[in-house]
Chain A
Amino acid sequence: MKTRAYYKDGLLTIRFDGELDHHSAKPAVRAIEEGIDTHLPKNLILDFNGLSFMDSSGIAVVLKAFRRMNELEGTVSVENVPAQPQKVLDMAGLGRLIKIAAGVKEV
C-alpha cells in the first residue's frame, strides 16, 4: 500500500493506494500521524479512491485518525470509498462518527 499527503489552507488530504490490512496498517497510521504533526490541519480527508481492499485493520486506522483530529478539534472525513471498504466501514458503524462518502471517481 502507498500513501501520499497533500496540504493546502488547513486541509490535509491523504490518498491511499493498494490494500489496507494488518500488514500495511502500521505504515498507514505512521503516514497519518506524520501528516497531522507536520501540518496541524483543521480538516483531514482520507481519500480511499485507490483502495482496492480493506479489512477490519482499516477500522482501527480510521478511528486513530479520528481520535488524533479530535484532540486538535478538527474534523475527519473519508471520501471516494469503493464498495468493499465501504461494507467493512459500515459493519463498524463508523458513519455515525465520521462523514463517509461512498463511490469511486474516475482518475
Chain B
Amino acid sequence: MKAINHMKVEFQSKSANEGFARSTAAAFAAQLDPTLDELGDIKTAVSEAVTNAIVHAYPDTIGKITLKARLYPDHSMELTVRDWGRGIDNIDKAREPLYTTGGEERSGMGFTIMESFTDKLKVKSTPGRGTTVTMRRRFSTRAGQA
C-alpha cells in the first residue's frame, strides 16, 4: 500500500524534546481524523519510544533521533523512531513487562505500552549501531468518512 503522506523530523536526544516528538506525531495523525482516545494512544507510544532512545541509546551523550510518520489510505499510520546509539543486546528481554536497566526512575513498561497502544510493533537493533522501532496503528473510520 502506498502512503498518502509522510513526514520526518530530526532532533537531539534531550528530554525536553519528548513533548515535541509526541505532539508532532499527534498533529500529523490529525489528518486521518482519529478520536481523542486514538490520539492519546499515539502520543503515549511515541513518548515511550523517544524516551527509550534518550535514556538508553544515548546514556552519557547527546545524539540524533529521527521520527518518521507515514499515513495510509486505510486510515492507518506507521511511526518509526530511530537512533544511532548504543543498541539493545537482548530485545526479547527488553520487551518483557517490568524489565528495565533504568533503575527505580523507570517502570519497565515502555515496550509493553507501545505494544498494546498500537497494532504492530517491530524492534530492530544492532549493539553499538542503534535501534529502530516501527509501530503501526489503524484508526477507526467514523460516520461521514470515506
A94 to chain B, nearest CB (A): 10
Which of A21, A59, A84, A87 contacts B107 (CB under 8 A)? A59
Q: Is B44 an interface position by the 8 A CB rule?
A: yes
Q: Per DSSP, are chain A's interface residues mostly helix, strand or loop, or mixed? A: helix
The range of chain A's interface size is: 20 to 34
Interface residues of A in 3-62 (CB under 8 A from B): 19, 21-23, 25-26, 29, 53, 55-57, 59-60
Q: Are A21 and B40 in contact (CB under 8 A)?
A: no
* Residues of A with C-beta under 8 A to B73: none
Q: Is A72 an interface position by the 8 A CB rule?
A: no
* Residues of B with C-beta under 8 A to A59: 107, 109
Total contacts A-B at CB 8 Å: 66
Look across to chain B and name the residue whose beta carbon is closest to the beta carbon of A53.
B43
Q: A55-B44, A87-B41 are in contact. List 18 more A-B contacts (CB 8 A).
A: A21-B51, A22-B51, A23-B15, A26-B105, A29-B105, A55-B47, A55-B51, A56-B48, A56-B107, A57-B51, A63-B104, A63-B107, A64-B104, A84-B37, A84-B40, A84-B43, A91-B112, A92-B109
Give the B-binding residues of A (Cβ under 8 A).
19, 21-23, 25-26, 29, 53, 55-57, 59-60, 63-64, 83-84, 87-88, 91-92
